[in-house]
Chain A
């Protein structure tokens, strides 16, 4: 009798552990399926589209590629290496440095033989968390569901020689033994050409555009300080990555400075300060921003999307898009940015998309996109 209670507790604990491992997928909320099970061999049978997709995503999350590839339908037009490359990226793109932190999915349409599922993939990346929304098509094969993996479009760049004749600027600084009075090269002359402060759902936002008026490249950072009615600084922030930092001569970039949790009601004045330093730079690579269009996506959000076209012969590992949106008076009403998770190969293009807040979508009449580029081995 004295062992009855401990035995009961042990049995109950084991039962709950097993139940937790097996039914993890059902614990993700009302419409979602949480990230996959925690132990190999305990994934639920893919007898529903939700289970099938959860198994696939959990295997991909664990980088168990053979199992993940086995989870997709034989009708998928993709080989295993392309499937893996679709997940882990290549050519030093952002995806190569990212990992799938979690996912949640919800059914869009389910019949006896087919299902359409929408998945939010939560990635952790060096530039912060990124959410990717993808739609998957699933079919029933026998008594299990399988995901039909879409054909992976991997850019194929033919062997070629691309001459690069664009300018680059090197910087030679004076030595310590220089004569007093001879001084160094002046800092580049940059100017804020527009500024707008608005309240957003996340707090106050200061945004606008900066131009490099000089004939040399500049590394630019914009700082803003919010000042209250008695002249005290409430907060001070900078544009961080919401700007194209390296500006070539006469280049214009949007900037955005976020002040989370601060309302403009308490702000009397905004002090702006733009810092520019002379840096070595190159006019190469040239990246075109093609087919830019504002459209509503499947979720009803206003999205500016288009294609980045690398017109040079150099791989751009992590393209970063910064876009300014104007109203019908030409005033900057919003600045948004987005990273492209795949590398931009020479002479090839990659799609990009940035979201416009729902409240501003109706005001946007025009937009301007600039592209930051980060290439491995180059500062």
Chain B
């Protein structure tokens, strides 16, 4: 269980982590600057188990992997959005912040009590359940391995 952090459409990677912090790569330190200047309370209050709920095209813009890493450092395990920008989607899978498509995010308000049930493919928000779209099969292989690093290690050891 965690709280929902609600965002709108087209949340770009400059908003998630501004360009001036890109020399950092420690997830915790990045997290201390997440959404700086646009949603300052996030870095102070977000905690493990919280979920980001967003509209269309979440993570558009730069290829900076610092964006999912900053969310990971803040304890975010899932981003649930109507759609994702392509590079962010891959980066999020690779770093283990799971991007999940759900067309019902409009119905989930900010600050709801939420939990994601991946095996049964639903998100529960304030006791209501909404279906989630499955992660594409070829991406699931990476998720199941525990991220691309682990996947690469398995391949490297073959």
Q: Do A and B bind each other?
A: no
Q: Which residues of B contact A (CB under 8 A)?
A: none
